[in-house]
Amino acid sequence: MKYTFLPRNIYRLLFLLLGIVYIIGLFVPLLDNDSAHHANIALHMYLTGDYVSLIDEGRDYLDKPHLLFWVSAASYHLFGVTSFAYKFPSFLFTIFGVYSTYRLGRSLYNAEGGRLSALVIASAFAFMLANNDVRMEAILTASIAFATWQLVDWVNKKSFINVLGSALGLALAFSTKGLIGVFVPAAGIFFYLLYKKDWRAFYHPQLLLIIVSFFAFISPVLYCYYLQYDLHPEKIIRGKSGWSGVKFILWQQTFERYEGKSFGGAGSKDYFFFFHSFLWAFAPWSVIAYLAVVNRIRNFANKKYEWLTIGTFLIMAVMITFSGFKLPHYINIIFPTVAVLTSAYLLEKVNAEVVTHRLFVTQMVVCILCLIVAAIINAWAFPLKSWMVFVGIILFVALGVYVLRTIKPVFQKMITLSVLTSAFIFYQLNSNFYPQLLTYQGGNELAFETKDKVDPKNVFFWSDIYNPSFQFYSKELKKVFSDSVLNQNQPVWVLTDRNSFAQLRQKNLPVLQQYSHHDYNIGTMSLKFINPNTRKETLDTLFLVRVK
């Protein structure tokens, strides 16, 4: 049976609105910690011309491969050192990932399933968030989607172009975050082969060619690790020497992270972590996704559906649950297959009226709850200040009401409502919440305030100050303060916080000039900070002072 799940003009409208929201987010400043931290590793490449070494604040950085840093540094050359330049490559990969998810859905089901899969993943909360708090996830998820699509097509067609595509996708994923980027599509295709009983594929000559091509594609990364670490066993990293960079990235990195070694064991004892994190990360589609998972488990044995999507979901759910180190954005890597799984379930139920109405009610509840939270954030915690943003909200609401009133079929209304809710929430986040929130991140604000007033070459960080956003927006490598810098003929500026400023005072150094800005670690927001009435109590102060 052929049918159009959503009219093409509705698809175009929804993707257009999502695209606008994504683009607005490209100009939001970087968050401290991982986002600004990764941007500074790329900044080191850009300023020094050393694209081999991964350097973090003057120290060798071992944990993750080069791809994000390479593409970010290349973007700096094109656009300058800006938020946009750092985020733009991930945005391009996001488009690539949405398209790859469409092709994966089309290969496993049909074109309509592919289009809906693309719409689902593009509007998932954590997928959109990965373009704001830019780490590895946007590039990694896109590469996994591409690799999985190419592997499925290779299984079905045994085409040489899919051999190269599979190897390239796996290599891009590996070059972004290591072995986990290979494991996810490989696990999925393993279940797919079991489902099809395609035993010949396990010893097909082209499979060897995929493996050989994969190692050829990742050879630049391996060679850089070899140059930085294997040739320098004397380097002390994490308190020990004798590191083999090649061995680490090919093997140790993934298992160390899974065991929680050297990473603090975040969330290691929370065995419901995957369940509750997936609920918000894949919103507004997470409840439907869980229903799809239950449906697939019930029908697993009779092979009514392919095993790739459900196999990937289950094996990663188990792995993340028992991992010694887990963070919410780790779940993003299963989004392409979960989007296809969710879309296939929706398409199956499109003509079941009872199920349709239940799903519509479910999505209504989910969307209303999400909108209430967004309203609280943007009306109480960080009230609107820009009339342009307010006008945008009015237009958004008016358009949404018009479209929903125009659409009659309940299933189409449900999908449109879900996507509009996601786009509307992230419009508010990207245009109002994040711009206001980041005014409490002292590093970027102090860098903006002192631009053209203080030469960044003369700025030194107090020894215990970690502030990657100031470093990035000052566009200069970090230099640590020591008494010896006082002997130079140029002015000496010191970046410090409230506690360290007292230490500086103890040195009896005359302060000739100072700038200051309130500061808060927004990566660990508390209810006391969110509450406008108690926010001031949570704030530190960041100082940039000129000493004699």
Q: Of 326, 348, 370, which marks where a domain is finished?
A: 348
Alpha-carbon gap, residue 341 to 105, rounded angstroms: 9
Contacts 24+ apart (CB under 8 A), 487-491: 490/455, 490/457, 490/458, 491/455, 491/458, 491/546
**Nearest to 5, CA basis, from 424, 421, 418, 414:** 414
The verdict on residue 184 lying in a domain is yes
**DSSP helix/strand/coil, 476:** coil
Q: Does position 163 have pLDDT exceeding 70, yes or no?
A: yes
- Winning range, highest mean pLDDT, from 254-268, 319-333, 357-371: 357-371
Q: Does position 146 have pLDDT exceeding 90, yes or no?
A: yes
Residue 55's beta-bridge partner residues?
Answer: 60
What's phi and psi for 512, nearest 5 deg?
A: -90, -30
The verdict on residue 5 lying in a domain is no
Same domain, 429 and 335: no
Q: Which residue has the tokens 């900044």?
A: 43
Same domain, 493 and 539: yes
Token couple for 190: 């393993």
The verdict on residue 4 lying in a domain is no
Same domain, 517 and 430: no
pLDDT in tens, 445-469: 999 999 999 999 999 999 889 999 9
Same domain, 460 and 414: no
The answer to whether the beta carbons of residues 305 and 438 sit under 8 Å apart is: no
Q: Of 348, 363, 387, which marks where a domain is finished?
A: 348
What's residue 261's pLDDT?
62
Alpha-carbon gap, residue 397 to 417, rounded angstroms: 11
Print burial letters for 213-224: b (CB count within 10 Å at least 16), e (below 16).
bbeebbebbbeb
Same domain, 212 and 72: yes
The answer to whether the beta carbons of residues 145 and 334 sit under 8 Å apart is: no
Same domain, 264 and 152: yes
Alpha-carbon gap, residue 467 to 30, rounded angstroms: 12
Alpha-carbon gap, residue 215 to 402, rounded angstroms: 53
State the pLDDT confidence band at 263, using cuts at 50, 70 and 90.
Answer: low
Q: Does position 3 have pLDDT exceeding 50, yes or no?
A: no
Number of domains in the chain: 3
Domain that holds residue 445: 441-547
Q: Does position 238 have pLDDT exceeding 70, yes or no?
A: yes
List, as one string, the DSSP characters of 141-190.
HHHHHHHHHHHHHHHHH--HHHHHHHHHHHHHHHHHHSTHHHHHHHHHHH
Q: Of 323, 348, 373, which marks where a domain is finished?
A: 348
The mean of the pLDDT values for the chain is 93
Alpha-carbon gap, residue 98 to 138, rounded angstroms: 10
Alpha-carbon gap, residue 132 to 330, rounded angstroms: 16
Same domain, 320 and 333: yes
pTM of structure: 0.95
What's residue 411's pLDDT?
92
What's residue 352's pLDDT?
87
Average pLDDT for residues 507-512, to the nearest whole number? 84
pLDDT in tens, 193-212: 999 999 999 999 999 999 99
**Residue 323 CB contacts under 8 Å (≥ 6 apart), including other chains:** 257, 258, 260, 268, 330
What's phi and psi for 518, nearest 5 deg?
A: -65, 155
The verdict on residue 517 lying in a domain is yes
What's phi and psi for 93, nearest 5 deg?
A: -65, -35
Same domain, 248 and 396: no
Handedness of CA 289, 295, 298, 303 (dihedral sign): negative
